[in-house]
Structure formats: structure tokens, C-alpha cells
Amino acid sequence: MKIVLAPDKFKGSLTGFEFCDIVAEALYTVHPTAKILKLPLSDGGDGTVDILAYHLRGKKIEIEVKGPLFTPVKASYLYMASVATAYIEMAEASGLKLLAKEVQNCMLTTTYGTGQLILDAIKKGAKTIVLGIGGSATTDCGIGMAAALGYEFLG
């Protein structure tokens, strides 16, 4: 018997990886000869970089950027030098997961840190940027990202 496990995360409880491990272990007790294929997925939000790093075997790069409230946070993205492509997850630098519930206010948060991730990837040679935009803590329409990339806004 062949079984494919292809879950997204269960926000607040399990990652796709954890789900695959738990379910595979349970299935092996019932079907010890089963061939179980673990294919965790992502919707572009929290965990996207980890899922892509697992499937593409790329190099994760971690840098310090400005978080949603402009405090320093560590954020990572996946860089595939062989194809000059960076995979960036907005939630890493500008995500709800970085904020306590009592300070989650989309009118006060920014995507500036996501722009810093993009800029770092460009400096490393990325010609293509794939951006997952789920899990965002802001609705700044990308103005923060653009500012980090050097755009100036007047007025």
C-alpha cells in the first residue's frame, strides 16, 4: 500500500512536518509494510521557507531585519544560487507570529523587514524573487517593502 501525506500546517498546533511524522508512525502500526511518502505543503504563509528548503534542498540565509513594529528580528529566506532565485516568506519578517495578541494592529505595522530580505537576496545575486505573502501582520500595501528597497514617498 502506498500512502501520500501532504498536509499544510495546523496553525497553532502542528507543522506539516510534525503532522507527517505523527501520522506516519500511527499508520506503520496498522500497515507496517506501507510505503509512506511525506510531502508537507505550504500556502505561502508561516512555514513556507522551511517547506521549500526541505523540497528544494536550498540554502537558508538568516539575517537581522526590522520586524512588524520596527524592532529587530531574525528572519530567513531560501536562496538557490544555481538558478539565482530567492524564496521569501513575508511572515518571517512581517508576520503575525512575531507579535503578541495585544499589539497586533495592522495600522501600526510595516513590511519594511520583508523589503530588507528582498534587498539582501538581490545583493547575493537573486534575479528572481518568489514572495509568499500569507501570515502578514500589516496592510501597508507594500510601502514598507518599497521603502527598504530605496523608494521615497512624499506627502
- Could you give the CA distance from residue 140 to residue 113 in angstroms, rounded to a whole number? 12
Query: Per the domain annotation, does 109 fall within a domain?
Result: yes
Does the pTM exceed 0.75? yes
DSSP 91-108: HHHHBGGGS-GGG--TTT
Extract the C-alpha cell encoding 29.
Answer: 502500526
Distance of alpha carbon 65 from alpha carbon 120, whole angstroms: 10
What pLDDT digit, counting tens, does each position of 41-99 carry? 999 999 999 999 999 998 899 999 999 999 999 999 999 999 999 999 999 999 999 99
Query: What is the tally of structural domains in the chain?
Result: 2
pLDDT of residue 31: 96
Mind listing the pLDDT tens digit for each residue in 108-146?
999 999 999 999 999 999 999 999 999 999 999 999 999
State the CATH number of the domain containing residue 125.
3.90.1510.10
pLDDT value for 59: 86
Q: Which grid cell sits at 125?
A: 545575486
> Do 24 and 99 belong to one domain?
no
Let me know if residue 101 belongs to a domain: yes
Model confidence at 12, in pLDDT bands (50, 70, 90)?
A: confident
Residues 88 and 110 in one domain: yes
- Do residue 83 and residue 112 come from a single domain? yes
pLDDT at 88: 98
Owning domain of residue 95: 43-148
| Domain co-membership, 90 together with 47 | yes
- Does residue 3 fall inside a structural domain? yes
Instruction: Supply 50's cell numbers.
Output: 522551511
- Measured CA to CA, the distance from residue 109 to residue 8 in angstroms comes to 26
Determine, yes or no, domain membership for 153. Answer: no
Residues 9 and 81 in one domain: no
Residue of 146, 144, 151 whose CA lies nearest to 108: 144
- pLDDT-derived band at 26, boundaries 50, 70, 90: very high
Q: Residues 82, 114: one domain?
A: yes
